[in-house]
Chain A
Amino acid sequence: MTKVTMTVNGKSVSGDVAGNTLLVEFLRSDLHLTGTHVGCDTSQCGACVVHVNGAAVKSCTMFAAEAEGAEVATIEGQANADGSLNTIQQAFQDYHGLQCGFCTPGMVMSAAALLKDNPKPSEQEVRAYLQGNICRCTGYHNIVRAIMAASGQEVPAVAAE
């Protein structure tokens, strides 16, 4: 077992992990941060996307020990300080960008990484960026709409508005 220390959502945490413990396992099992999900075993689905030192990372492809000293951000730390939804989260609700919610944490974390690097992405850029995140419920339409709206761009309104 190796002792690992990192900052998760602004708090310093540490734990003893085996060499093959994945970052996602450490987050879910040791830290009980179960908002980060596991949807596949081939690093395809993106339900486990978190930020490590500001970059979007699939936490199923990284060992916990590799995150030694890193700044990790998960979905649990995304809301505003007063607990309200942040801009991206709010856009997902406003534009019905989620249904079952399982892929959602990864989608929100990917969207945040995209908008950090590219604050006004085109629709094609959003769709291309989401290649690593699979959603089975929404057909992506409202996810794309939510991300475009979160970037401050005009998008068609949701139904009956």
Chain B
Amino acid sequence: MPKDHGIGASTKRREDVRFLTGAGNYTDDINVHGQAYVHFLRSDVAHGRITNIDTAAAAAMPGVVRIFTGADFEGVGGLPCGWQVTDKHGEVMKEPPHPVLAQGKVRHVGEPIAAVVADTLQQARDAADAIDLDIEELPAVVNMKAALEEGATKVHDDLSDNLCYDWGFVEENKGAVEEAIANAAHVTTLELVNNRLVANPMEPRVAVGDFNRATGDSTLYTTSQNPHVIRLLMGAFVLGIPEHKLRVVAPDVGGGFGTKIFHYAEEAFCTFAAKACNRAVKWTSTRSEAFMSDAHGRDHVTKIELALDADNNFTAVRTETYANMGAYLSTFAPSVPTWLHGTLMAGNYKTPNIYVNVKAVFTNTVPVDAYRGAGRPEATYQLERVIDKAARELGVDPVELRRQNFITEFPYATPVAVEYDTGDYHATMDKMLELIDRDGFAARRAESEKKGKLRGLGINCFIEACGIAPSNLVGQLGARAGLYESATVRVNATGGLVVMTGSHSHGQGHETAFPQVISEMIGIPEDQVEIVHGDTANTPMGMGTYGSRSIAVGGSAMVRAAEKIIAKTKKIAAHLLEAAEADIELKDGQFSVAGTDKSVAWGDVCLAAYVPHNYPLEDIEPGLEETAFYDPSNFTYPAGAYACEVEVDPETGVTTIEKFVSADDFGNVVNPMIVEGQVHGGIAQGIGQALLENCVYDENGQLLSASYMDYAMPRADDLPEMAAYTVDHSCQTPCTHNPLGVKGCGEAGAIGSPPTVINAILDALNSGGHKVDHIDMPASPSRVWAAINNAS
């Protein structure tokens, strides 16, 4: 029987009721009495010098409260970067200033130049149109390799060139890797693009700044995955507001996928302007603004070489990647192509020699930062594509080639600085092969061929580093923050309790899953537990939600705080039962004395803590409230094996997904229903990357894909049907270093699926005699058709 509560139960989500009845409270639903509205005048050129900006006429327009330009922000800090990469020469990365409003130059389409605050949004828009603005357009750099050429236009005049950093990892391995490649029996080389994507949470970003003249306190309501991080970055580095005078609230947030981690100019602006105007200031992004102001994702160009010995053992991997930073460094941008990517280049394999080179490049495009998976999809994509190519070149089974190179003993220290604690890659591979029914593939291919279609089977294995992250380790790697998580457990006098967590739910269902853990620990019903998150005023300092970290790090903090509560309640129970503390057992919400029938209920112990009449006050404080900060000792390493079958119509190049299966190892699972939902969503985004989505700039830096008319979001009929789709997480090797044995599941689908789909398409094309080694994502019909016809 499946469990009906606690860890492992598919408890239905309590948050659904408000979302299903229109009672959610998203940031745009928040209106502060007397608020004004801001409209940003944004650059319509990719690169230019502001030669004139005259706001006088606009300021006289009806309803205008005030117009701000870069000049108003000269004494204000720029948007900070939270990670400093040191390059292969020991030099720190170039870190140009990132102004809230453009200072003298604009460097990407969409960069805010001026902000009009007015009584109504319409008035703000009208006045923005009346600003007299002259921009001397300069040549733009868009292509990364061109941006690094001698004499290329510089995005930042004060920098020597457009190279942010040239990172080598691990530099000491470089010689051994070169030697292994030189001595290899076979080397497979692949050059590929990891396409630029836009995260596109369905809720556009919103910021409402408020200022209380009576107290001098500022409040920002914002669509953030990590309100404490925003408070720290904006307060300490941009506006100079101490944290005790600044409150950041991220209420219901309509999806994040990474792009709502970062501190954005609009947040700082609304907070600043509310004080300057003595009036709340609200900004709601349009979708078109979102495309040119939300940080984008991916955008890597990579050459990977895989060396094998005569027995097809992997002997070396060497990669050279160009990573687009865009025009400015977004909050965690430098970490994505380095520490979230280079450290994963071992994948699931015992390759002894690995060297990763990453050149991070400034271009006249929107900043690029973490998007679901962040670095790990890029690592997986290269590795799993080149392995498949090697299998084709060598004429060996791609399953067997992977199997013979799998890491099988744990813990396993990779040559790229991480230590996998647990895993069983053969188990996920076995499960995947069973689910896809590989034995029946030949018959299905024959059926497809009868219809004139080419059928391909693609597989992929992957590993992630989640549960981000051990603070001392990431500190050595350049992080300017700790990556612990926090929780306060406040037990009320009648036994119900509130968990105030630094994790933030924007779709992940924490309000349901976190109480399942508490229920399991204490034995009280889940509905006796309330989760509070998203407000710096009533949660302990926490780092928020990203990197599949909530249950692994935030959940662990909650467990630690609950353990403190349980320890204290056992002391109280021992007093009430006149027994030794060591003999007290807590089960199903009852404290009992081992070996006796004496017991006291959880609620009675809680009441005693708050009404301490019969209470050992000399030994124990009254009250029941505990806080814990949990800093993980290692990353977690979820891993999986995915398979996909596609049909390609050789006449049109149209690809359809006929079957998709995933076998994930997430360690222990708290709520299987939620976990599967996370995987579904990740796979949809990965299939979107593989087949549909592409963020495209023209050579002048104009964003061509700036709406849902041009950027192909996956729709319901782009994805596999129910009968052809299975997500499985039954292979479980629990994490060894966190109390729940969990690994995290939020990003797996987006990491595992793109190479699976492309490998399947290439298998299909090759089965039809089209010798195609590579096709870039998205594998649109025109690209597939061109590949078929160029190869034929």
Tell yes or no: B398 within 8 A of A by CB.
Answer: no
- Distance between Cα atoms of A18 and B253 in the complex (Å): 30
B186 to nearest A CB, angstroms?
A: 38
A105 to nearest B CB, angstroms?
A: 6
- Residue of A whose beta carbon sits closest to that of B730: A160
A36-75, CB < 8 A from B: 36-42, 44-45, 47, 74-75
Q: Is the CB of A102 within 8 A of B254?
A: yes
- Map CB proximity to B onto A67-98 as digits: 1 under 8 Å, 0 otherwise: 00000001110110000010001001110101
Q: Is the CB of B16 within 8 A of A101?
A: yes
Given B20, B23, B254, B717, which contacts A100 in the complex, CB threshold below 8 Å? Answer: B254
- Distance between Cα atoms of A123 and B255 in the complex (Å): 26
Tell yes or no: B672 within 8 A of A by CB.
Answer: yes
Tell yes or no: B21 within 8 A of A by CB.
Answer: yes
Report B-chain residues with C-beta under 8 Å of the C-beta of A98. 13, 16, 19-20
Tell yes or no: B26 within 8 A of A by CB.
Answer: yes
Q: Is the CB of A159 within 8 A of B675?
A: yes
Report A-chain residues with C-beta under 8 Å of the C-beta of B20. 75, 78, 85, 89, 92-93, 98, 101, 104, 108
Tell yes or no: A137 within 8 A of B by CB.
Answer: yes
Tell yes or no: A158 within 8 A of B by CB.
Answer: yes
- Map CB proximity to B onto A21-44 as digits: 1 under 8 Å, 0 otherwise: 000000010000111111111101
Q: Is the CB of A139 within 8 A of B683?
A: yes
Tell yes or no: B506 within 8 A of A by CB.
Answer: yes
A61 to nearest B CB, angstroms?
A: 13
Tell yes or no: B204 within 8 A of A by CB.
Answer: yes
Given B681, B683, B749, which contacts A99 in the complex, CB threshold below 8 Å? Answer: B681
Q: Is the CB of B204 within 8 A of A33?
A: no
Q: Is the CB of B709 within 8 A of A42?
A: yes
Given the interface contacts A37-B203, A40-B287, does A140 sit within 8 Å of B684 by beta carbon? Answer: yes
Report A-chain residues with C-beta under 8 Å of the C-beta of B682. 139
- Distance between Cα atoms of A149 and B678 in the complex (Å): 21
Report A-chain residues with C-beta under 8 Å of the C-beta of B557. none
A90-146, CB < 8 A from B: 92-94, 96, 98-105, 108, 123-124, 126-128, 130-131, 133-145
Q: Is the CB of A101 within 8 A of B508?
A: no
Q: Is the CB of A102 within 8 A of B202?
A: yes
Tell yes or no: B680 within 8 A of A by CB.
Answer: yes
Given the interface contacts A127-B717, A145-B722, does A103 sit within 8 Å of B673 by beta carbon? Answer: no
Report A-chain residues with C-beta under 8 Å of the C-beta of B672. 159-160
Q: Is the CB of B17 within 8 A of A93?
A: yes
Tell yes or no: B201 within 8 A of A by CB.
Answer: yes
- Residue of B whose beta carbon sits closest to that of A29: B31
Q: Is the CB of A144 within 8 A of B254?
A: no
Q: Is the CB of A78 within 8 A of B21?
A: yes
Q: Is the CB of B15 within 8 A of A101?
A: yes
Report A-chain residues with C-beta under 8 Å of the C-beta of B749. 139
Q: Is the CB of B722 within 8 A of A75?
A: no
Report B-chain residues with C-beta under 8 Å of the C-beta of A10. none
- Distance between Cα atoms of A41 and B685 in the complex (Å): 22
Tell yes or no: B781 within 8 A of A by CB.
Answer: no
B1-26, CB < 8 A from A: 2, 8-10, 12-13, 15-24, 26
Report A-chain residues with C-beta under 8 Å of the C-beta of B16. 92-93, 98, 101
Tell yes or no: A13 within 8 A of B by CB.
Answer: no
B117 to nearest A CB, angstroms?
A: 18
Report A-chain residues with C-beta under 8 Å of the C-beta of B29. 28, 34
Q: Is the CB of A39 within 8 A of B204?
A: yes
- Distance between Cα atoms of A85 and B17 in the complex (Å): 8
Q: Is the CB of B21 within 8 A of A76?
A: yes
B19 to nearest A CB, angstroms?
A: 3
B470-518, CB < 8 A from A: 506-509
- Residue of B whose beta carbon sits closest to that of A155: B722
Q: Is the CB of A127 within 8 A of B24?
A: no
Tell yes or no: B278 within 8 A of A by CB.
Answer: no
- Distance between Cα atoms of A35 and B252 in the complex (Å): 12
- Residue of B whose beta carbon sits closest to that of A34: B29
- Residue of B whose beta carbon sits closest to that of A36: B22
- Map CB proximity to A onto B701-739 as digits: 1 under 8 Å, 0 otherwise: 000000111000111110101100100000000000000
Given the interface contacts A37-B26, A92-B16, A101-B24, does A45 sit within 8 Å of B708 by beta carbon? Answer: yes
Tell yes or no: B523 within 8 A of A by CB.
Answer: no
B658-685, CB < 8 A from A: 672-678, 680-685
- Distance between Cα atoms of A140 and B681 in the complex (Å): 8
Given B674, B708, B725, which contacts A141 in the complex, CB threshold below 8 Å? Answer: B725
B24 to nearest A CB, angstroms?
A: 5
Given the interface contacts A100-B255, A160-B10, does A138 sit within 8 Å of B681 by beta carbon? Answer: yes
Report B-chain residues with C-beta under 8 Å of the C-beta of A94. 12
Tell yes or no: B288 within 8 A of A by CB.
Answer: yes
Q: Is the CB of B254 within 8 A of A126?
A: no
Report A-chain residues with C-beta under 8 Å of the C-beta of B253. 100
Tell yes or no: B782 within 8 A of A by CB.
Answer: no
Given the interface contacts A93-B12, A137-B507, A139-B681, does A76 sit within 8 Å of B22 by beta carbon? Answer: yes
- Residue of B whose beta carbon sits closest to that of A157: B10
Given the interface contacts A102-B203, A108-B20, does A160 sit within 8 Å of B2 by beta carbon? Answer: yes
Given B28, B201, B252, which contacts A136 in the complex, CB threshold below 8 Å? Answer: B201
Tell yes or no: B286 within 8 A of A by CB.
Answer: yes
Q: Is the CB of B680 within 8 A of A142?
A: yes
- Distance between Cα atoms of A35 and B22 in the complex (Å): 4
Report A-chain residues with C-beta under 8 Å of the C-beta of B10. 158-161
Report A-chain residues with C-beta under 8 Å of the C-beta of B22. 33-36, 74-76, 78, 105
Tell yes or no: B200 within 8 A of A by CB.
Answer: yes
B285 to nearest A CB, angstroms?
A: 10
Report A-chain residues with C-beta under 8 Å of the C-beta of B201. 100, 102, 136
- Distance between Cα atoms of A52 and B287 in the complex (Å): 25
Q: Is the CB of B680 within 8 A of A138?
A: yes
Q: Which of B201, B254, B286, B714 has most A Cβ within 10 Å? A: B254
Tell yes or no: B272 within 8 A of A by CB.
Answer: no
- Distance between Cα atoms of A34 and B721 in the complex (Å): 33
Tell yes or no: B615 within 8 A of A by CB.
Answer: no
Tell yes or no: B349 within 8 A of A by CB.
Answer: no
- Distance between Cα atoms of A135 and B683 in the complex (Å): 13
- Distance between Cα atoms of A17 and B155 in the complex (Å): 46
Given the interface contacts A42-B707, A75-B21, does A141 sit within 8 Å of B722 by beta carbon? Answer: yes
A132 to nearest B CB, angstroms?
A: 9
A50 to nearest B CB, angstroms?
A: 10
Tell yes or no: B642 within 8 A of A by CB.
Answer: no
- Distance between Cα atoms of A137 and B678 in the complex (Å): 8
Q: Which of A33, A92, A98 has most B Cβ within 10 Å? A: A98
Given the interface contacts A79-B21, A123-B721, does A136 sit within 8 Å of B685 by beta carbon? Answer: yes
- Map CB proximity to A onto B676-702 as digits: 1 under 8 Å, 0 otherwise: 111011111100000000000000000
Can you list 19 A-B contacts (CB < 8 A)? Answer: A28-B29, A34-B22, A39-B202, A39-B204, A40-B708, A41-B287, A42-B288, A45-B202, A45-B287, A85-B21, A99-B677, A100-B255, A108-B20, A127-B719, A138-B681, A139-B683, A141-B719, A156-B722, A159-B673
The interface of chain A, by Cβ under 8 A from chain B, is 18, 28, 33-42, 44-45, 47, 74-76, 78-79, 85, 89, 92-94, 96, 98-105, 108, 123-124, 126-128, 130-131, 133-145, 155-156, 158-161
Q: Please provide the 6 A-B residue pairs with the shortest distance between their CB atoms, ordered closest to farther.
A: A35-B22, A101-B19, A102-B254, A139-B684, A100-B507, A44-B708
A159-B673, A161-B10 known; 19 new pairs, CB 8 Å cut-off, are A34-B26, A37-B28, A37-B203, A39-B204, A42-B707, A75-B21, A98-B19, A99-B255, A99-B508, A105-B19, A124-B721, A128-B717, A139-B682, A139-B684, A139-B749, A140-B716, A145-B722, A160-B8, A160-B672
